[in-house]
Structure formats: structure tokens, C-alpha cells
Amino acid sequence: MHIWDTGGELDLKKVEKVEGRSPELVGLKLERTAPAYLTIKPAPLQVELRSRKVKIAGKEVEVKGAARIYAIGAVAITLRIPVHGDLEKLVPWMQPLRLDDKPARAYVEEIFNKIMEDIRPAIEASYPAEKVPEEYTILALTEPKENATEFIDKNRKLIAGLLREEDEWHKLSDAEAESATKHALSYFENDLTIVDWSAALILEPEGKYEDTLLTIELANLQLLELRTFDGLFDTKIASAQSDIEQLGKHVLLARRVGKIAAEIAAMHTEMDKLIADTMNITKFAGDYHLARLYDALEDRLHIIEWYRSVERKLDTLKELYSFASDRLDAQRSTFLEIVVILLIVGEILMAFFGLA
């Protein structure tokens, strides 16, 4: 799973074709009983990507995929690769793969760039895009069919090795294995989802895990966008500090800083909306299991910490430009006072010399 920032909000109505196919609006595909009103708002567009045959570890494998396009400004590309074998033999599949002798990210980036060509006209309110995607690997198992608790107890270190991409998983400490498998959830006795920082393991004998995959996608989407906003604010704060330092050196900067302050005010309104839209995209009212899963992901991905960082920087930006505005007002007042004094002195001199 790779999620890319597009560099701006998207008007999904303007997206007509992706890879030559018409995308469709999609909601949350529920695998369990839940209220009918449980949806993603706004609903993303989805397009099934054409199947691709690629070589992985010298073997030709058919890879299927799908792309979801989100109005808040992101594209999620998920490739599905069939794997077979005992659990221990799957450890290498959880490590960074090479597809057709390319790193997986480079391979997916080519797909993303082609999608961007199709959706670029739909981008609105653009900003510098985050060039590093969020990457997440999920191993979805339909075997073995056994009790989830027993499965974890019997394979804890091996599961930790899968999640931590560790070949020598048998050498992991008990504490590390416990940490990797800390966030484990089950709905029925024989299903299981364990989420970690960059990977997850799903055990679902009936293969009904689409809602779980989408919940993982949405959490990583939030992380990507918050990381993007965090970087944007770093740039704006550095620019603001530079402008404020120049304020006392050149009075002619007043017009420039005033213009920047207006731009920042507009950016604040826009980014505040984007942040709200990003955080509101995951509303699992009525589905307790998905809500628990999202809470686990929120903890593992440190989403709240990123959100608080963005909020602090947004406040810092407001304070900096409030300070700049105060200094500008003070400069204008001083300038007006000097003008008034000069006018008074001029009138006195004119009166004096006129009398003389």
C-alpha cells in the first residue's frame, strides 16, 4: 500500500479517466453487520488497475491493484500479490520487495505519475506536494483456521519478525515480540488483526477483510496529510521569521509583509479546513470493531502527536504574523507622528518667517 500526496485538494467531478478507465465513487465496504449510514465523506473515487505480470525473486507473479483518489488531495495505490507457503517462509515477502528488478516504491511511483497526468486538471488550491509516500505492508492470511489467541501464543516471535521485517526473528527478545504484537484485535474467535508501525497481519479464514484494509488505508492517509501540513508550516514559519527580522531594517517592507500576512491568513483558513477534513474522514460511528482498529492505528502511527504538532505550528504562524502586524502598526504610528511634527514645525517656521 502506497499513499501519495497530490499537492492540492481535488475536485473529483473533474476526474473522467484513470488509466483509460472510468473511476467510481466508493464507500466503506462493510464485511460485518453495521449501520447503512456508515460511509466515507466525501467518498473517494476508485479504479481497478490493469493486471501486471512482474518478476519477484526471479518468479513471474500476476499483480492486481486498485487506486483510490481522495478529495483532500491523496492517491492510495494498493498492489495485491498472491503468496503461498508456511508462515516462516513469508518473512521475506514482508521486506521491501523488488518488482521487475525495481524497488517497490519506484515501481508504484511510475503508476502514480501516470495517474497524476489524468487527475492534474482536477487539482485545486495547490501547495508543494510531499514527495515521500506513506508505505504500509499487509499480510492477509486465510490459513490457518484456528483460535486467534492460540495462534498468537504459538507464533508470537514469528509474527513479530513478519511485522518488523526481521529475518532472525527467533532471536527477538520477549519484550520486542510483545511490543510488535501489542495491538491485536479479534471480532470472531478465529479472525485476527495485528497492526504495527509499517505493517499489519490479518488472519481471516473467510477472506472478508476489505473493511480492515480500508481502515488501515485511511489511517495512513491521515498520517501522510498531517506530515505534509507539518512540512508546509515549517517552511512558512521560517519565511515569517525572516520577514519579521527584516521589518526593523527597512520601512519599505511594510507593504510586502502586509501582503504576506494576508496570504498567511488565507492559508490559515484553507489549511484549517484541510486539517479538519483530514481528521473527519475516519468516522466509524456504529461499528465498534472498526473504531477499535482505528484507535490502535492512531496509537501505532502517532497520529494524535502529528495532529498536535500541526496545530501548534498553525498557532505559531498566527502569533508570528500577529506580532508582525503589531510592529507594522507601530511603525506606521511613528511615521505619522513624525509627519505631524514636521507639519507643525513647518507651519511654525512659515508663520515666523512670514511675520519677519
pLDDT tens figures, 222-262: 999 999 989 888 888 887 777 767 665 555 555 666 666 66
DSSP state of 12: G
333 in a domain, yes or no? Answer: yes
Name the pLDDT band for 299 (thresholds 50, 70, 90): very high
Residue 269 has pLDDT above 80, yes or no: no
| Dist CA 209 CA 107 (whole Å) | 25
| Dist CA 86 CA 228 (whole Å) | 39
**Which residue, 128, 233, 146, is CA-closest to 190?**
146
Percent of the chain's residues with pLDDT above 90? 35
The pLDDT assigned to 257 comes to 61
CATH number of the domain enclosing 301? 1.20.58
Element holding 178 (H helix, E strand):
helix 174-180
Q: What angle do CA 78, 79, 85 make, to 5 degrees?
A: 130
Provide the residue type at 72 as one letter: I
14-27 tens-digit pLDDT: 998 888 888 887 76
3-state SS, residue 195 = strand
309 in a domain, yes or no? Answer: yes
51 in a domain, yes or no? Answer: no
3-state SS, residue 246 = helix
| Dist CA 262 CA 258 (whole Å) | 6
3-state SS, residue 252 = coil
3-state SS, residue 89 = helix
CA distances from 117 to 17, 45, 110 (A): 10, 16, 11
Cβ neighbours around 255 below 10 Å, total: 10
Phi/psi for 139 (5° steps) reads -105, 110
CA distances from 258 to 74, 240, 252, 327, 332 (A): 32, 11, 11, 11, 12
Higher pLDDT, 355 or 331: 331
Distance of CA 194 to the CA centre of its chain: 21
pTM score, whole prediction: 0.84
The pLDDT assigned to 37 comes to 41
344 in a domain, yes or no? Answer: yes
Q: Domain count for the chain, please give it.
A: 1
Q: 287: which residues sit within 8 A by CB, 6+ positions away?
A: 30, 32, 34, 35, 38
Element holding 278 (H helix, E strand):
helix 253-280
299 in a domain, yes or no? Answer: yes
244 in a domain, yes or no? Answer: yes
Cβ neighbours around 205 below 10 Å, total: 14
144 in a domain, yes or no? Answer: no
The pLDDT assigned to 38 comes to 47
Residue 194 has pLDDT above 90, yes or no: yes
Give the range with max mean pLDDT: 67-76, 238-247, 315-324: 67-76
Residue 67 contacts residue 77 (beta carbons within 8 Å): yes
Cβ neighbours around 45 below 10 Å, total: 23
**Which residue, 94, 96, 97, 98, is CA-closest to 85?**
94
In the structure grid, which three cell numbers stand for residue 91, read together? 518473512
C-alpha dihedral over 337, 338, 340, 342, to 10 degrees? 160
56 in a domain, yes or no? Answer: no
Name the pLDDT band for 78 (thresholds 50, 70, 90): very high
> What is the domain range of residue 224?
218-355
